[in-house]
């Protein structure tokens, strides 16, 4: 066989090895591209989640804020407490005051009530406006003691609720009876809710024993 034939044979024998090597490089390139593509997809997905939902702590905070909002909205507004001898206006021209505070005993309790030391509270309303004032939704409550617990109201013939309406320039008085233990009277709070959406007025001080 001639030298030319030997060279031709060697060249033909090298072709399969060259093809295999090219295929290996090709698959290696495909693998690298695939890894890069997956990394890009994961990166984009992470950015999308971060922008769309926020961090877990932020999401939790938002949920808590939404749950707390109704409670804040329904909380009772209250003006700063004033001494028992002062007057205060929850709205212009409507002036509340404590007309009297006296210690009494309930000797003839109503059904379901018990005889106990009590306070008779007189609440006054002066209408300084030029229109009739409605007291149909006005409520009076008493709190006493270290923890300012609500005191139960009592029925008594000497009591008299506030009238439904007060004419311009007039003054009205309502008398209320509350069972208040003697030992809790060093710190008493009388709260008057004039109307829905209006801040509560508060009178605070020591009550007669």
pLDDT for the residue 159: 78
Q: What are the structure tokens assigned to 189, written together?
A: 């709070």
pTM of the predicted protein model: 0.63
- In tens, the pLDDT along 158-169 reads 679 999 999 999
What average pLDDT does this structure show over 168-175? 97
pLDDT for the residue 33: 58
Tell me whether strands 188-193 and 133-134 are parallel, antiparallel or unpaired. Answer: unpaired
What whole-number distance in Å separates Cα of residue 84 and Cα of residue 100? 9
What whole-number distance in Å separates Cα of residue 97 and Cα of residue 106? 25
pLDDT over 80 (residue 170): yes
> Which residue shows structure tokens 């001080």?
205
Tell me whether strands 117-127 and 87-91 are parallel, antiparallel or unpaired. Answer: unpaired
- Top CATH class, 82-205: mainly beta
Give DSSP secondary structure letters for 18-67. Answer: HHHHHHHHHHHHHHHHHHHHHHHHHHHHHHHHHHHH--HHHHHHHHHHHH
What average pLDDT does this structure show over 11-38? 58
What whole-number distance in Å separates Cα of residue 118 and Cα of residue 104? 5
pLDDT for the residue 105: 83
What whole-number distance in Å separates Cα of residue 140 and Cα of residue 160? 12
CA–CA distances in Å: residue 183 to residues 1, 146, 154, 186? 130, 10, 19, 7
- In tens, the pLDDT along 62-95 reads 333 333 334 444 457 999 999 999 999 999 999 9
pLDDT for the residue 124: 98
Q: How many CA atoms lie within 13 A of 59 on its CB side?
A: 8
* 124 class by beta-carbon count within 10 Å (0-12 exposed, 13-18 middle, 19+ buried): middle
Average pLDDT value for the chain: 78
pLDDT for the residue 115: 64
């Amino acid at each position: 066989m001639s030298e030319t034939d030997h060279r031709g044979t060697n060249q033909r024998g090298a072709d399969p090895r060259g093809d295999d090597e090219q295929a290996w490089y090709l698959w290696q390139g495909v693998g690298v591209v695939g890894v890069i593509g997956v990394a890009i997809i994961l990166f984009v997905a992470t950015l999308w989640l971060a922008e769309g939902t926020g961090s877990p702590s932020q999401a939790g905070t938002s949920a808590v804020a939404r749950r707390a909002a109704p409670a804040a909205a329904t909380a009772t507004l209250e003006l700063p407490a004033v001494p028992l001898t002062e007057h205060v206006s929850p709205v212009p021209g409507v002036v509340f005051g404590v007309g009297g505070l006296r210690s009494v005993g309930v000797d003839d309790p109503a059904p379901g009530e018990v005889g106990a030391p009590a306070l008779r509270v007189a609440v006054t309303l002066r209408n300084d406006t030029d229109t009739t004032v409605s007291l149909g939704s006005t409520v009076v409550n008493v709190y006493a003691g270290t923890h300012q617990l609500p005191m139960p109201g009592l029925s008594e013939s000497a009591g008299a609720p506030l009238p439904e309406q007060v004419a311009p320039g007039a003054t009205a008085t309502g008398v209320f009876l509350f069972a208040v233990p003697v030992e809790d009277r060093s710190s008493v709070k009388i709260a008057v809710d004039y109307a829905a959406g209006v801040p509560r007025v508060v009178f605070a001080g020591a009550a007669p024993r």
